[in-house]
Structures are given as structure tokens and as C-alpha cells.
């Protein structure tokens, strides 16, 4: 619309000349002319508009906020990054349970009991005691910045991990795919340079979004770059919530749940992608549940299997006091690890060595409209 009353919702329609055989989607962008971010917002789950296969139009919404000084202000809504390809496929029925499950360890703790010492921390001693047959993957939080130096603690840890058969994955932030991708690639190279391609088995990309095409393209480039440059390195992506089918090809493992046990037990939102609802993908689905009670472990494990998570990390640690629920071992850790692994088999190897095809681009015309906010 050319105008909208302050405090009301502007409804926009994206159209196609004719229906397509696949989804056609485009990212939604707001440019503030005389308005500001307090005056309006695109709904959090509407960062892109999707015209479903066989249809010719789709609506999206911009909510304006009353009492924020927006009267008479203008903004422009535009569409970009259009692609043809399924954002979400037709859902399959969720399975009743997975038949293989194990632990992916979010080990945010420094390896040594004391900096400069030679003894491993109790945290890492417990991981090593559990064994790689029950904890195949461990995360490390070593420094991968451009001026990072070799850390003797991580050198000792990676050597020990390799001896015991653990696969070690290095943590890298993407800041919701806004970090320059060259910086992310440089961090990958730094980890390999410092600790060796034989010791780093993959990369864990944190703060991932799947809600727009630009973010999907970013992840696609990282995935294919990893496979073409480093071959057999695992790619783990953490959106912390459900994903679309459009992004599903571009990581070997997706963490599609990261939240409290209370949320997981009582307020879990059902997955909407065919990828997550297909039990055949359980070896590529990872759920993290923190602030758990030990008495709820089996309930959480049962739920995770019903939700197709082949990989889990469960802990009694919480975000209090430092915001990180991954600093302390879960209570009754050995028993918990045994319970997760009591199906008697590990998930299939999630690592895919090949690059994945990209979605096809689509042409946009008439891609923007300017709207004025009017008084009530």
C-alpha cells in the first residue's frame, strides 16, 4: 500500500506472472527514508516471502507501531535474493522413535585444570572416561582469530582426543550470517594451520539463520567451500531452532533445538520442514537441552527420539550466572551418557564429502514500494 495508519499493519502482495512448479521466494528488506526502526518492523518469521509451488501470489506484513513518532514518515519495502526452489517440502509423518542415538559434546571448558599445567580438567577427564564410542564428537573453543597463537592446552587435548578416537570440531561464530564470510574462512584456515588437518575434524558454525535466502546462500557457500577446500571435514550449523528445507542441504548436522528442559518438555514447537520430520535424517539432527533435572533425563531422551534427534546434548547446567549453560558437567554424567547410548548403536556417519547444488535464481521486476505512515 502507498499508506498505512500508525499502529496498523500494512499488507503487501508478491505476485508471479504465472504459477511455477517449485517455490519462488525473495527476501524482504525495509529501507527507512524518514522513518526509523522504532516505527515499524517486519514480523520475525517473515524475513522472506514465499510463493508456493502452483500458486501465483503470497502476502507479507509490516507492523507499524503507535506512539513512536512515525506519523508522516516514509519507508520503502523491497524484495531481493529471489530464488526458485522448495523452501519447505511436503511434510512426512514424524517417526515414533529413532533407532540410533549418541552424544555430541558441547565442551566449552578449557582442557587443562590449570593454565600451563599438564593435567586435564575434571570436565575433560569425564569425557575421556566415557569414551568416543559414546561421545563421538567434541567441540573446542580455541582461538581462531587472525593473530591466534598455538595453545599448548589444546595441543595436548587434540592429541589425546585423537588417541582415544574422538572427533574434534572447532567453534566459529557467523553472527547470524552477517560476519564477513572471508573472516569465517580465515578462522577455518587458522585452526588447520595451528592444530593440523589430522586433528580438526570439522567446523561448528554458530548463530545461524535459515529465515531468508541471503542467509541460506551464505551457509551454502560455507558448506561447499569446506567440502571443496578441506574435503572430509564435518559441517555443523547451529540455528538453535527449526530450519527450512531450503537450507537443509548446507550442513552435515543441524542443531535444531537449543533451549531449556522446561521448554523442551512443555512448550516444544513442532518442526515444519520435511527434513526434520523424516526419521531418515536423524543422523543429521542435533538437539541441545539445558537446565534439566536429572530426574527428567529419560523423559527428555524419549522426546528427542520421537523428534528425530540422532544427536543430543543434555545438561543440568543453566545460563545462570554467566549466560552459558555449557560450563559444568551434567549431574550423574556417566549414567546420562549411558542412557543416551542405550539403543546400542551410533547414528549413521553424517559427514558428506560432496558439494551440494545451489538453488536457481529468479528475476524480480517491480521489486519495491514506498509507504507513508498516516495519523490515526
Residues 246-263 pLDDT 10s? 999 999 999 999 999 999
Q: Looking at the chain, which residues constitute the CATH 3.20.20.80 domain(s)? A: 102-340
Please tell me the predicted confidence (pLDDT) of residue 322.
84
Pick out the chain residues at pLDDT < 50: none
pLDDT reported for residue 376:
72
- To the question of domain 3-85+361-374 being in CATH 1.10.3720.10, the answer is no
Q: What is the DSSP string of 317-353?
A: --STTTS-S-SSPPTTHHHHHHHHTTTSSPPPP----
Residue written as grid cell 566415557: 130
Listed residue (227, 215, 223, 234) closest to 176, CA to CA: 215
- pTM of this prediction? 0.89
Nearest alpha-carbon partner for 103 in 310, 277, 249, 274:
310
Count, in order, helices (H) and strands (E) of the chain: 8, 17
- Provide the phi-psi class of 255: left if phi over 0, else alpha when psi is between -120 and 50, else beta: beta
**What are the pLDDT digits (tens) for 341-373?**
999 999 999 999 888 988 777 767 667 888 999
Q: Which pLDDT value is given to residue 44?
A: 64
Instruction: Please list, residue by residue across 309-336, b when 16 or more beta carbons sit within 10 angstroms of its beta carbon and e when fewer do.
Output: bbbbbbbbbbeeeeeebbebbbeebeeb
Residue 34 is predicted with a pLDDT of 93
pLDDT of residue 368: 87
What's the sign of the alpha-carbon dihedral 161, 162, 164, 167? positive
CATH 2.60.40.2030 domain residues, the chain: 3-85+361-374
- The CATH class given to the 102-340 domain equals alpha beta
pLDDT tens-digit series, residues 209-221: 988 898 899 999 9
Would you state the pLDDT for residue 131? 98
Amino acid at each position: 500500500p502507498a499508506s498505512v495508519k500508525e499502529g496498523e499493519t500494512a499488507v503487501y502482495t508478491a505476485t508471479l506472472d504465472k504459477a511455477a512448479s517449485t517455490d519462488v521466494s525473495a527476501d524482504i528488506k525495509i529501507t527507512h527514508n524518514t522513518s526509523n526502526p522504532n516505527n515499524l518492523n517486519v514480523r520475525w518469521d517473515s524475513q522472506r516471502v514465499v510463493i508456493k509451488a502452483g500458486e501465483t501470489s503470497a502476502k507479507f506484513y509490516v507492523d507499524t507501531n503507535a506512539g513512536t513518532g512515525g506519523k508522516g514518515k516514509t519507508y520503502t519495502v523491497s524484495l531481493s535474493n529471489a530464488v526458485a526452489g522448495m523452501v519447505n517440502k511436503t511434510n512426512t509423518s514424524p517417526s515414533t522413535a529413532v533407532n540410533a542415538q549418541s552424544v555430541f559434546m558441547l565442551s566449552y571448558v578449557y582442557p587443562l585444570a590449570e593454565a600451563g599445567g599438564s593435567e586435564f580438567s575434571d570436565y575433560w577427564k569425564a569425557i575421556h572416561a566415557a569414551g568416543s564410542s559414546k561421545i563421538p564428537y567434541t567441540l573446542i573453543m580455541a582461538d581462531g582469530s587472525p593473530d591466534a597463537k598455538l595453545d599448548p592446552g589444546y595441543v595436548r587435548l587434540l592429541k589425546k582426543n585423537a588417541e582415544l578416537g574422538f572427533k574434534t570440531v572447532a567453534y566459529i561464530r557467523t553472527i547470524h550470517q552477517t560476519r564477513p564470510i572471508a573472516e569465517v574462512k580465515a578462522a577455518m584456515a587458522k585452526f588447520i594451520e595451528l592444530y593440523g588437518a589430522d586433528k580438526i575434524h570439522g567446523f561448528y558454525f554458530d548463530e545461524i539463520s535459515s529465515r531468508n535466502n541471503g542467509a541460506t546462500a551464505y551457509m551454502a557457500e560455507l558448506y561447499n567451500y569446506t567440502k571443496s577446500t578441506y574435503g572430509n571435514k564435518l559441517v555443523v550449523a547451529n540455528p538453535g531452532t527449526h530450519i527450512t528445507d531450503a537450507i537443509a542441504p548446507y550442513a552435515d548436522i543441524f542443531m535444531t533445538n537449543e533451549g531449556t528442559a522446561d521448554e523442551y518438555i512443555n512448550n516444544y514447537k513442532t518442526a515444519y520442514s520435511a527434513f526434520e520430520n523424516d526419521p531418515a535424517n536423524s543422523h543429521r539432527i542435533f538437539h541441545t537441552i539445558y537446565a534439566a533435572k536429572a530426574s527428567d533425563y529419560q523423559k527428555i531422551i524419549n522426546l528427542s527420539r520421537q523428534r528425530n534427534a540422532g544427536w543430543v546434548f543434555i545438561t543440568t547446567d543453566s545460563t545462570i550466572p554467566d549466560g552459558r549453560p555449557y560450563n559444568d558437567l551434567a549431574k550423574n554424567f556417566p549414567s546420562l551418557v549411558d542412557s543416551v547410548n542405550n539403543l546400542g548403536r551410533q547414528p549413521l556417519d553424517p559427514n558428506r564429502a560432496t558439494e551440494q547444488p545451489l538453488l536457481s535464481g529468479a528475476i524480480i521486476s517491480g521489486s519495491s514500494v514506498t509507504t507513508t505512515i498516516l495519523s490515526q
